[in-house]
Structure 1
Amino acid sequence: MTITALAVLAGGTYLMRLAPLLLHDRVRFSDRTVRLVELGAVALLVALVATGTWFEGREFAGWARSAGVAVAAAGIWWRLPFVLVVVLAAGTTAVLRLVGVP
């Protein structure tokens, strides 16, 4: 059963990635549909970041992680280099946890 499920999921993933290449010139979408799909992708990304920031399982992840994400967001807003954004966010979280902030 597991092998069958894995094969079906792998095949479905492959077909989903192959479909745009095969159908690119045959299927046209309206500008509104394209815009809604783009907004849907942004909404899913925001939901993923929010749940990853504030929750660990079913519990609140703590203020240190939230502060680290806020520092990362500020660094991105200021257009800092990505490596610096990651280091600042991780450093903020680490220092806050070191001083006892959950």
Structure 2
Amino acid sequence: MTPGVVWATVLLASLACYALKLVGHLVPEHRLADPRVARLTSLVTVGLLVSLMVVQTVADGRSLTVDARVPALAVAALAFALRAPFVVVVVLAAATAAGLRALGWG
């Protein structure tokens, strides 16, 4: 792809995101108060965050990779399951990744 095509794509995607956000502000409040809508929006948010997390963990350019990030993510998931505070989860995951990288893995 040429740089012009890339920039055109970025600008078009930015405009689409802005338009979507603008449309969101135009939705009547009584529609958003519906419990089904609230549940759906919370599930969509979680799904998007999980998919971003997985892509950042196992993707390396155009290939999949398994390195110190995968066990660090598993430790973070376990800490969350045990109801650890967020700061503890982050520190445990970072320590796991750093320890494995110090041992030469990843």
User: Do they fold alike, i.e. is TM over 0.5?
Assistant: yes
User: Matched residue pairs, number?
Assistant: 99
- Higher relative contact order structure (alpha carbons within 8 Å, sequence separation ≥ 6): 1
Runs of 5+ unmatched residues, structure 1: none
User: Are the structure 2 counterparts of residues 32 and 80 from structure 1 closer, same or farther at C-alpha, using a change threshold of 3 Å?
Assistant: closer
User: Are the structure 2 counterparts of residues 45 and 101 from structure 1 closer, same or farther at C-alpha, using a change threshold of 3 Å?
Assistant: same
| Deviation (angstroms), 1:86 | 0.9
- Trace 1:28-39 onto structure 2 (pairs within 5 A): 38-39=42-43
Q: What TM-score do the two structures reach when normalised by structure 1? A: 0.68
Root-mean-square deviation (CA, aligned residues, Å) is 3.0
Aligned to 2:78: 74
Give % identity: 37
Q: What TM-score do the two structures reach when normalised by structure 2? A: 0.66
Aligned to 2:53: 49
Secondary structure, counterpart of 2:23 in structure 1:
helix
User: Are the structure 2 counterparts of residues 10 and 60 from structure 1 closer, same or farther at C-alpha, using a change threshold of 3 Å?
Assistant: closer
